[in-house]
């Protein structure tokens, strides 16, 4: 099932609104979101647009991830300062 507003994941078997879909390519960030309990809508293989290397694309619920994103960003920034 796919139309202009929703997508269906064959992996998770979830139908999700495209307007709430957030793509994550960073495996560490995806693991962080999973540990935080952010809903995983989908996961699929793709290619990096710049290098052509294979990547996994994780699709998370955008509305649920706002707080986790701030935590991720703050932790990432703190790690950069300590380097």
Q: Would residue 29 count as lying in a domain?
A: yes
pLDDT, position 12: 96
What token pair was written down for 26?
A: 């960073």
Whether 1 is in a domain gets the answer: no
Which residues lie closer than 8 Å to 37 by C-beta, 6 or more apart?
none
Domain-located, residue 12: yes
pLDDT of residue 11: 95
pLDDT of residue 2: 52
What gap in Å lies between CA 60 and CA 22, rounded to an integer?
5
Q: Is residue 63 part of a domain?
A: yes
Domain residue limits at 60: 6-82
Which class for 14: exposed (0-12), middle (13-18), buried (19 or more C-beta within 10 A)? middle
User: What pLDDT is attached to residue 33?
Assistant: 96
Instruction: Report pTM.
Output: 0.82
10-52 pLDDT, tens digit each: 999 999 999 999 999 999 999 999 999 999 999 999 999 999 9
As a whole number of angstroms, the distance between CA 58 and CA 31 comes to 10
Q: Is the dihedral of CA 48, 53, 1, 69 positive or negative?
A: negative
């Amino acid at each position: 099932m796919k139309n202009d507003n929703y997508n269906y994941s064959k992996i998770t078997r979830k139908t999700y609104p495209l307007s709430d879909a957030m793509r994550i390519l960073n495996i560490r960030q995806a693991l962080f979101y999973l540990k935080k309990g952010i809903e995983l809508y989908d996961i699929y293989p793709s290619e990096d647009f710049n290098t052509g290397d294979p990547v996994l694309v994780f699709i998370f619920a955008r509305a649920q991830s706002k707080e986790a994103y701030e935590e991720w960003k703050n932790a990432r920034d703190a790690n950069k300062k300590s380097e």
